[in-house]
Homo-oligomer: A and B are copies of this chain.
Amino acid sequence: VITIRDVAREAGVSIATVSRALNGSTRVNDGTLQRVREAAAKLDYWPNGAARSLTSSRTHTLGILLPDLFGEFFSEVIRGIDQTARDETFQLLISSSHADTDTMLASARTMSGRIDGLIAMAPDKGSVEAIARIARQFPVVLISPRNPVPGCSSVSIANVDGAAAMTAHLLDLGHRRIAMVRGPRGNVDADERLRGYREALRRAGRGPRAARGYQGAFTEASGYRAAEEILRRRSRPSAVFAANDNMAIGILSALRDRGVEVPGEMAVTGFDDLAIAEYLSPSLTTVHVDAYGLGSRAVSLWMTATRSRGRRRSRHEVLPATLVLRRSCGGLRAGAKKAGGTNGRGGNGDGGNGDGGNGDGATLTARATARKSRAIARSQGLR
């Protein structure tokens, strides 16, 4: 392995000069700069990163702590982190799939001395304490939970608002029984989305009678199972709100297998707005979440927090969650795409919901509130 000494010898200078020359820094003679560069190129010198960070106590690396990088959503978050870090020429030391907080702590420990700071995504409660401990070692920015650790900045999604808006929209469409397929227990995002759903129902004066929750796990398979359970009930809901898109996909699949028309007999909505959502059949009404932005903003927050260490206090950003209205919930003007057919009433054999509000899409859209209309406009601007 070639070290700085070899380069110094080759160029006929001291190692200090090599260091200065190669780091583009201050006063170095043009001639020696040339010689050093040539020597380094000739020997194919690759500076040792560990040694550099040991002396300079800067690593130019960000640690990333993730629960489990599964599927499209996480992959987008990481992309956001990666791209933004790359703009600052930072590298990423990633550790994921943390079953418990102990392994998370252990990972952070071994990162010590190799990172300048950390971005942590800890979607379950109880990891707060561990993160607080990590934050004593280096600056940490959190993704997801709202503001739990003192001194840490954070980015999160407007889960409650998004879920509430979706629920309100379904109510506007005339749905009176709206089931929710929840995310995994203890997951902060899942909890917040459930809360938004409940709050919207309460605000509309519809209590526990209209609500009905089913347990899911953020996977297609769990959505499929939940749909089967829903169909076994005597009184079916006219709408199902899944806490994420993956589960909504499973639900759509189950309803198709059972011959239940969507949105005719049952409306289905999701959360996340994955890339495939608009290509599903029917295209999925969902809540758009800027997964890329989640990662990107986290890194930006870290950078500003670090540059102004001590001066500024922690910041907490909440990324908006906007409704994206597509065909799976009905209510879009008929004929926009593939008119007729799926809009029909269908042989709704089971318990029809009292007021018969769930009919033609165009009519229902007219009833939509101004807020919803704005959401539609926004969503159309988005894509």
Contact = CB atoms under 8 A, between A and B. Distances in A.
Given A110-B60, A113-B51, A276 B220 contact: yes
Given A48-B54, A49-B113, A256-B281, 19 more contacts: A1-B137, A46-B109, A47-B109, A50-B53, A50-B54, A61-B93, A61-B114, A71-B75, A82-B95, A86-B95, A91-B95, A93-B93, A93-B94, A220-B275, A220-B276, A249-B276, A249-B279, A250-B279, A257-B337
A78 interface: yes
A309 to B, nearest CB: 15
Contacts of A1: 137
Interface in A257-296: 257, 259, 275-276, 278-281, 283
Interface string A32-45: 00000000000010
Interface residues of A, number: 60
A75 B96 CA distance: 12
A171 to B, nearest CB: 28
Interface in A98-136: 107, 109-114, 133, 136
Contacts of A72: 71-72, 75
A94 B86 CA distance: 11
19 contacts: A46-B113, A48-B112, A48-B113, A49-B111, A49-B114, A50-B50, A50-B51, A50-B54, A50-B113, A69-B75, A72-B75, A74-B75, A75-B75, A82-B95, A82-B97, A250-B279, A253-B278, A276-B276, A280-B280
B70 A113 contact: no
Nearest to A86: B97
A69 B85 CA distance: 14
Contacts of A283: 253
Nearest to A259: B338
A44 B137 CA distance: 10
Contacts of A95: 82, 86, 91-92
Contact of A91 (B75, B82, B107, B259): B107
B83 A97 contact: yes
A61 B113 CA distance: 13
Nearest to A54: B50
Contact of A70 (B60, B75, B249, B259): B75
Nearest to A107: B91
Closest 4 CB pairs of A and B: A48-B113, A75-B75, A49-B113, A46-B112
A250 B278 CA distance: 10
Q: Which of A61, A75, A136, A224 has the most CB of B within 10 A?
A: A75
